[in-house]
Amino acid sequence: MSILNTLVERARKGAKVIVLPEGQDARVVAAANKAVDEKVVTKAIVLGSEAEIAEACAKAGVTERKFECVDYLNSPLYNDFVAEFTEMRKAKGMTPEKAAKTMQSRIYFGAMMCRRGLADGLVAGSIASTADMLRAAFHCIGTAPGMKIASSTFVMDLKTPAPAGDDVLLFADCGVNPNPDANQLVDIALATSNTYRALLGKTPKVAFLSFSTKGSADHEILNKVKEAAAMMQQKIADEKLDILCDGELQADAALVPSVAAAKAPGSPVAGAANVLIFPDLNAGNIGYKLVQRLAHADAYGPVLQGLAKPLNDLSRGCNSDDIFGQIVITVCQTMK
């Protein structure tokens, strides 16, 4: 069974509200209708003027709107959000005039809805850039308690299970942080562990990847991976977290039990990692695309994580089913 089918069943138990800011996009209104039809949300809120949404619905063939429409520029919430945003960011030089202009961005307006608790999560990016999404997330939502950075993960739904039997792996960070240091790698690992548990409901088994396994090579670029693995293990012990972790590990030692037995005997991950933490964005982005294209895995993401509320990005080349998938994932991220 596809991981998405499993997540749909999980999302149906969530009773969540998701906001979709890009109501001028036919793909978005189609996905919003499907999300309500499939009962993965209790409410889908689509932002846009009546003219925009009517045109999008016509293009999508949506004849009956199942979603709620909010004309954000004419909403009574607009002035409230301007005042709140001004106060939130006044130390950064925010003025009412600047805040009014900022709230004309539908992404910022949607993010403020999440901040206020009017929506549980947000899905956008079919038109907006990732940079736009991240700015709105940082300025309106901020990071989750204990997290200093946001990051991203890809949910890799494998056609053939990994040697240890897992058919879903999480790869991070593949879309946000170009060259994280050791402390940031720990944040990425913790956030990805939380995402894994929210989506799969199982114990995360985290591997910090490198070209070396347990000191088989010595180079300065390995230092941050070794430090991150050690700090993560200490944090797990100190806070009694239900996470298994090891590193530094080569990919085969992380994923193949027989290789782990030879290269990393006694490893708590034991060749059965289900969360792979890459040393930098080059490695992560290359890695997920190789698995996606050569092993024909379905790659869902980038799923943003480490935020106080889930705001998830889309590829601008996405279709309505991709958007629906991100809605489902976003709902699951809100569930404990």
CATH 3.40.50.10750 describes domain 151-298: yes
Here the tokens at position 276 are 């792979």
DSSP symbol at 139: I
Q: What is the pLDDT of residues 78-89, one digit of tens each?
A: 999 999 999 999
Residue 99 is inside which H or E element, if any? helix 96-102
pLDDT at res. 1: 60
pLDDT recorded at residue 220: 87
Contact partners, residue 273, CB within 8 Å, separation at least 6 = 164, 169, 205, 206, 207, 246, 249, 254, 255
* β-sheet with 43-47: strand ranges across: 68-70, 43-47, 17-20, 121-124, 311-313
- Rounded distance between C-alpha atoms, residue 239 and residue 242, angstroms: 9
- Is residue 166 scored above 80 in pLDDT? yes
Name the pLDDT band for 163 (thresholds 50, 70, 90). Answer: very high
Strand order, beta sheet including 244-249: 244-249, 205-209, 275-277, 168-172, 151-157, 298-305
Q: Which two tokens stand for residue 5?
A: 């089918």
Q: Both ends of the chain: CA-CA distance in Å?
A: 23
Are 78 and 102 a contacting pair, CB within 8 Å? no
Mean local confidence (pLDDT), 216-236: 92
User: Quick one: average pLDDT of 110-119?
Assistant: 97
- What is the model's pLDDT at position 47? 98
Q: What is the pTM of this model?
A: 0.89
**Amino acid residing at 243:** I
Task: Give residue limits of the domains in the chain.
Answer: 3-142+309-333, 151-298
pLDDT attached to residue 279? 97
Phi, psi of 302 (to 5 degrees): -70, 130
Question: What pLDDT shows up at residue 289?
Answer: 94
Tokens 């999008």 correspond to what residue? 56
Structure tokens at 104: 């004309």
Domain 3-142+309-333, what architecture?
3-Layer(aba) Sandwich (3.40)
pLDDT computed for residue 173 by the predictor: 96
CA distance 108 to 278: 30
**Chain centroid offset of residue 245 CA:** 21
253, two tokens: 């030692």
Tens digits of residue pLDDT in 254-263: 999 999 999 9
Residues 281 and 55: their CA atoms lie apart, in Å, by 39
Q: For residue 126, what are the contacts with CB-CB under 8 A and spacing of at least 6? A: 22, 25, 27, 28, 314, 315, 316, 318, 323
**Between residues 200 and 315, which one has the greater pLDDT?**
200
Mean pLDDT of the chain: 94
